[in-house]
Structure 1
Amino acid sequence: MRIIAETVALHARYHLTVVPPLPESRQREAVVLGDERFKVLAEQVDRRVRLGQPLMQETINRLNSAEQEGPGPATGEESGYNSQRARKNPNAASGGVDLEQTPPASAKAARGNPTFPKVTSRANAAPDDELNPRVTQEPDPTSATARLEAARETPLPKWRLILSVFLPFAAGYYLSFLFRTINASISPFLASDFGLGAAETGLLASVYFLVFAGAQIPIGVLLDRYGPRRVQSVLLVIAVGGTSLFGNADSFAELLVGRAMIGLGVAASLMAGLKAIVMWFPRNRVAFVNGGMIMLGSLGAVTATAPTDWLLTWCGWRSLFELLTIATLAVAGLIYFAVPESNEGPKRSVPSGKSLTLRSIFSDPRFLRIAPLSATCIGSSWAMHSLWAASWLADVEGFDRQGVINQLFTMAIGISLGALLLGTLADRLRKRGISTEALLAVCGALFMLAELALIMRVPLPSILPWSIVSVVGAATVLSYAIIADYFPVEIAARANGALNLLHFGWAFAVQYGIGLIVNQWAPQDGHYPLDAYQTAFGFSLALQFAALSWFAVPWLRSFVRFIFVPADGRAVLAPAVVAEESVLEPSQGIEW
C-alpha cells in the first residue's frame, strides 16, 4: 500500500508539473470535470476488483488478438477498437468520461481537450528528473543507434562482469589507496635517507592530494568522452613512471615529482570504477557493487601497514617501489585488455534543458551546503590517517615501531569495514525516513569528538578515537549517494568530481598545514612535543566545527519554526497545524 500510495502521489505531481496553470475563470470547470472523472475511475476500479478482470491482462489479451488478426485498413483497427469500446461502455459513444481505455492518439488530437490546454514543449516542465520522463522522440528500432543501444543493454554473464569489470577496477582503486597511505610507513626511512623535517615530510605526502584534486574535473570529462577503460589504463602508465622515479630518486625534488606523478596516475581510480559499474552492472545492484569496490580498495590501507613494514625490513623502500612499479603496470594492462569496450550511445540531454556546466554545480545551494562538511571531515581524515597518525602515536603516545604499525593496521581494517557499514546503515536508515545527510552530520560530529578527545588527552585507549578518525574517511559512500540525489545522471559524474576536488584539496591543505604548524616547535630527542600537535589539530577542528554549523543552519531554522510558531502575536511551543479542509477538499480551495 505504501508503494501504491507513493506511485500515485508521484504520478499526480507529474501531471501538476507538466500541465500549464489554468486561469481563474476556468478553474471551477476543471474541478467539476476532475470530480466527474474521479467518480468514473472509482466505479471502474471497484467493478474490476469485484470481477477479477485486471486492466493489465485485458490489455495484453487485446494486443495479442490484434497481432493474430493483423492490421486492417488505414483506420480499421481503430474502428474495431472504438466499436468494442462503445459496446463495453455506452458513455464513451455519447462523449462521457472513460478511463478504462485510452483513445488512439489521432482521435485524441482531433477531439482536443476543452478544459486543459495541450502541452507542446518542455518549457513548463520542472527540472525534476524523478518526475519528468524522457519525452524525446524514440529512435527507429532499425537504426544504427537503436541497435547500438540494444547491444549495450544486453547483460554480460555475472562471472564475466566480476572478472573483467569489477576486479580490474577494484585492483586500480586498491593501488590508489595503497599509494595514498604508504607514506606513514616509509616516511621514517625517507627522513633518515634525505634528512627531511616535518614540513618537507608533510609536503611530500600532501603533493599526492594536490595533484589528485586538480585532476578530478578534467578526468570527469575524459571519462564521459572516452570511457573508463582507456582513461584508467593510460593514467596508470603515468603512475608507473612516477613509481619508478620515486624508487630511484636521489634528491627531494625527484621524490616530489615522482609522488606527484603517482597522484596523477591513480587520480581516476575511484571515478573510473564507479563509472564502469554504472555502465555494466544492473541498476538495482549498483549501490551494493560500489560498496564492495570501496571495501576491497580500502584493503590497500591495510597493505600499507604490517605487510609493507615486513617488505621494508626484507628488501628496503627502493626495492618495494620496484615491486609496486611492476604491479601498477600489470593492473594497467589488465584494465586495458580485460575490460570490454563500452557501446554507449550519445548522451542525452537533461530533461529540464539546463546546461551541464561546472558553474551549475558549484552554484547549487545544496552542493554549497554539503561540500564544506564533507571536505573538512573526509579530507582531514585522509590527511591524518595517511601521515600524522603515525607521528602522533610515536611522538605523543610513545609507541615503538611495531606498536605504530599494529595500530595503523587496526585503523586500516576500520576504514575498510567502515565503507560497508556506512553504506548498509544509510540504506536501512533511509527506509525508516532518516536522510543520508543526517547520517553524514552524525559522522562529522563523531569525528570532531574523536579529535577533541585526542587534543584534550582524554584517558581513553588511543585506538578508539583513531579508529573513529579512520572510519570517517569511508564516509565518501554517504557523500556520493547524496550527490547522486542532487543532480541528474548526465551531470552526476562531474558533480562527484567536483566534490572529490574539494576532498583531496582539503586533504592537501591539512596534511601540509599540520606539517608547517608542527615544524614551528623544535623536536626533543627526535620527537615533536604535544603542544605542536594540539595546536595543529585544534586549528583543523575549528574549521570543521564551522562547516558543521553551516551545514546545520537549515535544520536549526526548521527547528525554530517548529518550536516557535506565532499565534495572535504570541510564541507557542507547538508545531504548525494545517487545516484539513484545505488539503482534503480541493473544491473548497480553487487556487491550485
Structure 2
Amino acid sequence: MSPKRGAQEEHQMQAGLIVLCLAYVLSQFFRAFLAVLASVLARDTGAAPDDLAAASGLWFLTFAAMQIPVGWALDRFGPRRTAASLLFLGGGGGAALFAMATAPLHIKLAMLLIGVGCSPVLMASYYIFAREYPPARFAALAALMLGVGSVGNLVASYPMALAIDLIGWRAALAGLAAISIAVAAGILALVRDPAPVANGAGGSVLELLKLPVLWVIFPMMLVNYAPAAALRGLWIGPYLEDVFGLGTVEIGQATLVMGVAMIGGTLAYGPLDRLLRTRKWVIFGGNFAAALALGLLVALIDTSAVLSVALIALIGFLCASFPVIIAHGRAFFPPHLVGRGVTLMNLFGIGGAGIAQFASGRIHEHMAPSGTTAAYVAIFGFFGLMLLAGTLIYLFSRDSLD
C-alpha cells in the first residue's frame, strides 16, 4: 500500500473493495445457481440439462468475451464506472429477465446478460490490487477477495434450495435483480479509481500476446477453473439425481459442501507462493492432484453418493489456484497494461469454463442413450484429461515470485 495515502483515502478504498466484494458474491452466485434450479426449471420452462449447460456456457463465454473491452475500460475509465454500469445493466436486467422466463431461450438470454453484468467485478478489484499494493501481496489479496466473494457459491446451494421452497424461484430472482442494482449503486458511490499512469490508455492486448513467457501459462489458466465450475455450477445436481436419486434439498447440501471446499482451497492457496517461495510448483502440484481426483471419480462413479460428494469437494478445493495463476502472469505485465493483463488472464480462465460447459452438454447428449452412468463417466473423464493436458504444458513455464 502506498505510504503517501492518507487515512481517509485508505478508508474509502476499503469501503470500495467491500462493495466490490459484494458484487463478486453475486457473480459467484449467478455462475453456480443453475445446479439447484435444474428440476424446477424443467417443470416450469421445459429446460433440459442440455439447455442449462448451454445457458451456463453462455454466461461463461459472454463473461470471457467481455474481458477484452473490460480490460480496456479499466485502463481507460477506471474500475468505478466500468463495474457499476455493467452490473446495473447486465446483472439487474438479466436477473429480472430470468425471473420472467417461460422458455429455455429466455433463460439463455438472461444468463448472457448476467454474464455481461458480472464480467468486470472481480477484475475491478484485481486492478486496484495490482495498482495500489506491492506485487508480492497480489496473490494473497486476490485469493482473499476470491475466497470471501465465494460466499455467493454457498448461497447458491442449500440456501437457494430453501428459497425455492419458501418463496419460489421467480420471487428469488426478482429479489436478486433488486440487489444487483443496489450493489451497482454502491460501487458508483464508494469505489475510488487509482491515479492514472503514463500511457494508461495506450498499448493493447497484442503487446501481451507477444510475450512468449505467457503462452505456457495461458493453457493452465484455460483448464484450471473449468472442472470445478462445471461440476459446481451444473453437473453435480443432475449427476447426484440421475445416479443416486437425490432430491433438491440433498443436492443443495452437496453443493454447499463443494462450495465450502472451494472457498477453503482459495484461502489455502493464497499465501502458499510466499511460504514455499514458488508459484509454479504450487500451481502444478494442486492441478495435477485435481486431475487424479477426477480419475478416481470416474473409477468410482456409482459406488457411493457420500464418496462422490467427497471427491467432488476435493476437486473443488484443488482447482482453486485461479488467483495464484493470475499472480504468476501478473509478474510479466507492463505497468500500463495491468488492466488488460488481468482481464486477458481472466478471459482464458472463464472462457475455458464456458467451452467446457458447452462441450460437456454435447457429451451428455451424445452419451445419454448409452446409459446414465456412461454419460457422467465421459463428462468427468473429459474434465480430467483436459486438466492433465494443461498441467503438463504448464511444466514449461518460468517461475515468478516478486
Q: What is the TM-score when the length of structure 2 is the normalising length?
A: 0.90
Task: Specify whether residues 501 and 343 from structure 1 end up closer, same or farther in structure 2 by C-alpha distance, changes over 3 A only.
Answer: closer
Rounded to whole Å, the distance in 1 between the matches of 2:368 and 2:331 is 49
Secondary structure in structure 1 of the residue aligned to 2:216: helix
Deviation readout 1:275-298 (Å, 9 max, x if unpaired): 234455677765544333211111
Map 1:345-384 → 2, pairs under 5 A: 345-348=196-199, 356-384=203-231
Tell whether the 8 Å contact from 1:370 to 1:551 is kept in structure 2 after alignment: yes
Deviation readout 1:90-134 (Å, 9 max, x if unpaired): xxxxxxxxxxxxxxxxxxxxxxxxxxxxxxxxxxxxxxxxxxxxx
- Given candidates 141, 165, 169, the residue that maps to 1:313 is 165
Deviation at 1:226? 0.7
Task: Specify whether residues 283 and 482 from structure 1 end up closer, same or farther in structure 2 by C-alpha distance, changes over 3 A only.
Answer: closer
- In structure 1, what is the equivalent of residue 311 of structure 2? 465
Equivalent AA in structure 1 for residue 316 of structure 2 = S
Task: Specify whether residues 534 and 400 from structure 1 end up closer, same or farther in structure 2 by C-alpha distance, changes over 3 A only.
Answer: same
Equivalent AA in structure 2 for residue 296 of structure 1 = V
Secondary structure in structure 1 of the residue aligned to 2:184: helix
Rounded to whole Å, the distance in 1 between the matches of 2:40 and 2:295 is 30
Is 1:221–2:68 an aligned residue pair?
A: no
- In structure 2, what is the equivalent of residue 175 of structure 1? 26
- In structure 1, what is the equivalent of residue 356 of structure 2? 510
Tell whether the 8 Å contact from 1:216 to 1:500 is kept in structure 2 after alignment: yes
Deviation at 1:380? 2.6
- Given candidates 304, 309, 320, the residue that maps to 2:156 is 304
Q: What is the TM-score when the length of structure 1 is the normalising length?
A: 0.62
Map 1:11-30 → 2, pairs under 5 A: none
Rounded to whole Å, the distance in 1 between the matches of 2:206 and 2:134 is 31
Equivalent AA in structure 2 for residue 506 of structure 1 = G
Map 1:155-174 → 2, pairs under 5 A: 156=8, 158-162=10-14, 164-174=15-25
Deviation at 1:154? 4.2
- Given candidates 375, 388, 393, the residue that maps to 1:532 is 375
- In structure 2, what is the equivalent of residue 323 of structure 1? 175
Deviation at 1:401? 2.7
Deviation at 1:225? 0.8
Equivalent AA in structure 2 for residue 455 of structure 1 = V
- Given candidates 484, 488, 499, the residue that maps to 2:345 is 499
Equivalent AA in structure 1 for residue 108 of structure 2 = L
Equivalent AA in structure 2 for residue 156 of structure 1 = Q
290-299 or 274-283: which moved more? 274-283
Gaps of 5+ in 1: 1-149, 350-354, 556-592
Deviation at 1:362? 2.5
Task: Specify whether residues 394 and 229 from structure 1 end up closer, same or farther in structure 2 by C-alpha distance, changes over 3 A only.
Answer: same
Deviation at 1:551? 2.2
Task: Specify whether residues 371 and 316 from structure 1 end up closer, same or farther in structure 2 by C-alpha distance, changes over 3 A only.
Answer: same
Secondary structure in structure 2 of the residue aligned to 1:333: helix
485-494 or 263-272: which moved more? 485-494
Deviation readout 1:499-544 (Å, 9 max, x if unpaired): 21111111111112111111224479xxx61101112222332233
Rounded to whole Å, the distance in 2 between the matches of 1:380 and 1:270 is 20
Tell whether the 8 Å contact from 1:393 to 1:399 is kept in structure 2 after alignment: yes
Secondary structure in structure 2 of the residue aligned to 1:324: helix
Equivalent AA in structure 1 for residue 50 of structure 2 = A
- In structure 2, what is the equivalent of residue 82 of structure 1? none
Rounded to whole Å, the distance in 2 between the matches of 1:384 and 1:274 is 25
- In structure 2, what is the equivalent of residue 114 of structure 1? none
Task: Specify whether residues 490 and 343 from structure 1 end up closer, same or farther in structure 2 by C-alpha distance, changes over 3 A only.
Answer: closer
- Given candidates 225, 229, 237, the residue that maps to 1:390 is 237
Secondary structure in structure 2 of the residue aligned to 1:486: coil
Percent of residue pairs bearing the same amino acid type: 25
- In structure 1, what is the equivalent of residue 391 of structure 2? 548
Secondary structure in structure 1 of the residue aligned to 2:8: coil
488-497 or 315-324: which moved more? 488-497
Tell whether the 8 Å contact from 2:219 to 2:390 is kept in structure 1 after alignment: yes
- Given candidates 361, 365, 383, the residue that maps to 1:519 is 365
Equivalent AA in structure 1 for residue 274 of structure 2 = D
Secondary structure in structure 2 of the residue aligned to 1:263: helix
Map 1:482-493 → 2, pairs under 5 A: 482-493=328-339
Tell whether the 8 Å contact from 2:46 to 2:103 is kept in structure 1 after alignment: no
Is 1:202–2:53 an aligned residue pair?
A: yes
Task: Specify whether residues 178 and 473 from structure 1 end up closer, same or farther in structure 2 by C-alpha distance, changes over 3 A only.
Answer: farther
Tell whether the 8 Å contact from 1:152 to 1:343 is kept in structure 2 after alignment: no
- In structure 1, what is the equivalent of residue 122 of structure 2? 270
Tell whether the 8 Å contact from 1:184 to 1:388 is kept in structure 2 after alignment: yes
Task: Specify whether residues 397 and 451 from structure 1 end up closer, same or farther in structure 2 by C-alpha distance, changes over 3 A only.
Answer: farther
Is 1:424–2:271 an aligned residue pair?
A: yes
Tell whether the 8 Å contact from 1:247 to 1:318 is kept in structure 2 after alignment: yes
Deviation at 1:464? 2.7
Rounded to whole Å, the distance in 2 between the matches of 1:263 and 1:476 is 19
506-515 or 457-466: which moved more? 457-466
Tell whether the 8 Å contact from 2:38 to 2:49 is kept in structure 1 after alignment: no
Is 1:453–2:299 an aligned residue pair?
A: no
Deviation at 1:438? 1.0
Equivalent AA in structure 2 for residue 316 of structure 1 = G
Task: Specify whether residues 365 and 396 from structure 1 end up closer, same or farther in structure 2 by C-alpha distance, changes over 3 A only.
Answer: farther
Equivalent AA in structure 1 for residue 35 of structure 2 = A
Tell whether the 8 Å contact from 1:235 to 1:265 is kept in structure 2 after alignment: yes
Map 1:130-145 → 2, pairs under 5 A: none
Tell whether the 8 Å contact from 2:35 to 2:233 is kept in structure 1 after alignment: yes
Deviation at 1:360? 3.1
208-217 or 150-159: which moved more? 150-159
- In structure 2, what is the equivalent of residue 401 of structure 1? 248
Task: Specify whether residues 337 and 151 from structure 1 end up closer, same or farther in structure 2 by C-alpha distance, changes over 3 A only.
Answer: farther
Task: Specify whether residues 160 and 193 from structure 1 end up closer, same or farther in structure 2 by C-alpha distance, changes over 3 A only.
Answer: same
- Given candidates 471, 474, 483, the residue that maps to 2:320 is 474
Deviation at 1:254? 1.9
Equivalent AA in structure 1 for residue 21 of structure 2 = A
Larger proportion of helix: 2
Tell whether the 8 Å contact from 2:72 to 2:340 is kept in structure 1 after alignment: yes
Is 1:251–2:103 an aligned residue pair?
A: yes
Deviation at 1:314? 0.5
Higher relative contact order (CA 8 A, sep 6+): 2
Task: Specify whether residues 356 and 159 from structure 1 end up closer, same or farther in structure 2 by C-alpha distance, changes over 3 A only.
Answer: closer
Task: Specify whether residues 336 and 157 from structure 1 end up closer, same or farther in structure 2 by C-alpha distance, changes over 3 A only.
Answer: closer
Question: Over the residues paired in the alignment, what is the CA RMSD in angstroms?
Answer: 2.6
Tell whether the 8 Å contact from 1:185 to 1:309 is kept in structure 2 after alignment: yes
Deviation at 1:408? 0.8
Deviation at 1:249? 1.8
